[in-house]
Amino acid sequence: MKVEDVYDRIESEPLGPVWISVVPREVSAARARQQGDGPLAGMTFAIKDNIDLAGLPTTAGCPAYAYRPDRSATVVERLMNAGAIPIGKTNLDQFATGLVGTRSPYGACSSVFDERYISGGSSAGSAVAVARGLVDFALGTDTAGSGRVPAAFNNIVGLKPSRGLLSTRGVVPACRSLDCVSIFARDCDVARRVWDVARGFDAGDPFSRVAGVGQDAAPWLGGAFRFGVPSREHLEFFEDEEAEGLYRKALVELERLGGEKIEIDYSSFRAVAALLYSGPWVAERLSAIREFMDTHADEMNPVVREIIAGARKYSAVDAFEADYKLRQLRRASEVEWQTMDVIVLPTTGAIYTHEAIAREPVKLNTNLGYYTNFVNLLDLAAVAVPAGFRANGLPFGVSLIGPAFADEALLSLADRYARGALVKASAPGCVSVAVVGAHLSGQPLNWQLTERGARLVKTCRTARGYRLYALDGTVPPKPGLVRDAQFEGSGIEVEVWAIPEDRFGGFVAAVPPPLGIGSVTLDSGEVVKCFICEGYAIEGATEITRFGGWRSYLAGRGSRG
Helix (H) / strand (E) containing 295: helix 282-296
| Best CA proximity match to 160, nearest among 367, 341, 400 | 400
Q: Can you say how many angstroms the Cα of residue 73 is from the centroid of all Cα atoms in its chain?
A: 22
Query: Half-sphere exposure of 43 toward its Cβ, with a 13 Å CA cutoff?
Result: 24
Phi, psi of 236 (to 5 degrees): -140, 125
**Which residues have a Cβ under 8 Å from the Cβ of 390 and sit 6 or more positions away?**
242, 243, 246, 396
Q: Which of 48, 89, 160, 529 is catalytic?
A: 48
Is there a catalytic annotation at residue 249? no
DSSP 168: -
Q: Which of 72, 146, 333, 399 is catalytic?
A: 146
DSSP 511: P
Query: Half-sphere exposure of 41 toward its Cβ, with a 13 Å CA cutoff?
Result: 7
Is there a catalytic annotation at residue 519? no
Q: How far apart are CA 308 and CA 314, in angstroms?
A: 11
**Which residues have a Cβ under 8 Å from the Cβ of 327 and sit 6 or more positions away?**
none
**Which residues have a Cβ under 8 Å from the Cβ of 442 and sit 6 or more positions away?**
none
Q: Which of 21, 122, 126, 182 is catalytic?
A: 122
Helices (H) and strands (E) in the chain, counts: 18, 21
- Whether the CB-CB separation of 6 and 132 falls below 8 Å is answered with no
- Using a 10 angstrom Cβ sphere, with 0-12 exposed, 13-18 middle and 19 or more buried, the burial of residue 510 is exposed
What is Dmax (Cα atoms) for the chain? 90
Is there a catalytic annotation at residue 325? no
- Whether the CB-CB separation of 417 and 213 falls below 8 Å is answered with no
| Best CA proximity match to 406, nearest among 208, 189, 165, 202 | 165
Which residues are identified as catalytic?
A: 48, 122, 146
